[in-house]
Amino acid sequence: MVKPTLLVLAAGMGSRYGSLKQMDGVGPNNEAIIDYSIYDAIQAGFGKVVFVIRHYFEQEFREIFTPERFGGKIDVEIVFQELEYLPDGLTVPEGRVKPWGTNHAVMMASEVIHEPFAVINADDFYGSEAYKTIAAYLTQLEGSKNHYCMVAYDLTKTLSENGTVSRGVCGVDASGNLASMVERTQIERMPDGKIVFHDGGADEELPENTPVSMNLFGFTPDYFGYSYDYFKTWYDANCGNLKSEFYMPTMVNKLIGDGTATMRVLRSGAKWHGVTYKEDKPALMAAIEELIAEGKYPRDLWK
């Protein structure tokens, strides 16, 4: 049985957070969120981790996240996302400085991943349950094509107390497969307790148990080919917008919409933790201390 791979999107510049939060210590021994993600992945049966980073912080990243850090329990590879890493025939538009987005980051791993794989954000704390759930599904997909999965969280368990968040709001059909995913920005809980999103000039309420994506997806390698092919179409339509991004939900919606693939929605009842803003860090650190006290993690993660 081939072990699934974990693809960690760590190239983000942390613009709202204000620093390279991928490497910021949140555990009692300065462990980063990435450390807990890798620990959970190892426990769930993943065999390799691939980090997507930027060249400008490569040295600092490599000094921290060495294969030795993880005790040889998981293989480690690094790939890079840069503006100029585009399919043949495409060029960076003049004035473009913003990265191309999460699905472009996924594409950067196409040459090093040849087995079912999960994708996560480096700055999201998903919880051990999520890794076990998605690993169990991915181990059934060896040799399969066009059958993907995702872990969805209840919206109410993914909010920040320190500002608005963006979430992929999911529609799920009667078979438990994803029917649609809409990126909603500026989501927050209002003083009256209601959860609303403000993007597009709207103030629309969302139910607390709305299933949302936290970019925890599971794919098979055929997804890379689809992504490279569709990126060219997306580029032609969006290259004039210097802030446009090729998101994973964009690619997933395309494949589901045209009937190419299905995506099973695996629900998680866990509370998401993350550091969208610097002010989120104390709450995350307190949550980790609680998990350690409950015996979910050792105090010294890699000792």
Instruction: Answer whether residue 44 is part of any domain.
Output: yes
Instruction: Answer whether residue 265 is part of any domain.
Output: yes
Contacts of 19 (CB under 8 A, 6+ apart): 278
Note the pLDDT of residue 2: 87
Instruction: Answer whether residue 24 is part of any domain.
Output: yes
Say which amino acid occupies 257: G
pLDDT tens-place values along the chain, 303 residues long? 889 999 999 987 444 434 455 577 899 999 999 999 999 999 999 999 999 999 988 888 888 888 899 999 999 999 999 999 999 999 999 999 989 999 999 999 999 999 999 999 998 899 999 999 999 999 999 899 999 999 999 999 999 888 899 898 999 999 999 999 888 889 999 999 999 999 777 788 999 999 999 999 999 999 999 999 999 999 999 999 999 999 998 999 999 999 999 999 999 888 888 777 778 889 899 999 999 999 999 999 998
Taking the C-alpha atoms of residue 114 and residue 134, their distance in angstroms, rounded to an integer, is: 17
Note the pLDDT of residue 14: 45
| For the chain, the helix, strand and coil percentages under 3-state DSSP, each to the nearest 5 | 30, 25, 45
165 CB neighbour count, 10 Å cutoff: 22
| Structure tokens belonging to residue 215 | 């970019």
Note the pLDDT of residue 17: 37
Task: List, as one string, the DSSP characters of 116-171.
Answer: -EEEEETTEE--HHHHHHHHHHHTT-TT--SEEEEEEEEGGGS--TTS-EEEEEEE
Note the pLDDT of residue 16: 40
Note the pLDDT of residue 20: 56
First-to-last C-alpha distance (Å) of the chain: 29
CA distances, 293 to each of 125, 287, 289 (Å): 17, 10, 6
Q: How far is CA 296 from the centre of its chain?
A: 22
Residue 257 belongs to domain spanning: 5-293
Note the pLDDT of residue 125: 92
Instruction: Answer whether residue 57 is part of any domain.
Output: yes
Taking the C-alpha atoms of residue 205 and residue 222, their distance in angstroms, rounded to an integer, is: 37
185 CB neighbour count, 10 Å cutoff: 12
Instruction: Answer whether residue 205 is part of any domain.
Output: yes
Residue 302: closest CA among 31, 50, 64, 60: 31
Instruction: Answer whether residue 202 is part of any domain.
Output: yes
Taking the C-alpha atoms of residue 277 and residue 164, their distance in angstroms, rounded to an integer, is: 10
Instruction: Answer whether residue 119 is part of any domain.
Output: yes
Instruction: Answer whether residue 303 is part of any domain.
Output: no
Number of structural domains the chain divides into: 1
**38 - beta bridge partners?**
none
Note the pLDDT of residue 15: 42
Taking the C-alpha atoms of residue 162 and residue 171, their distance in angstroms, rounded to an integer, is: 27
Taking the C-alpha atoms of residue 267 and residue 151, their distance in angstroms, rounded to an integer, is: 6
Read off the CATH number of the domain in which 130 is found.
3.90.550.10
Note the pLDDT of residue 82: 96
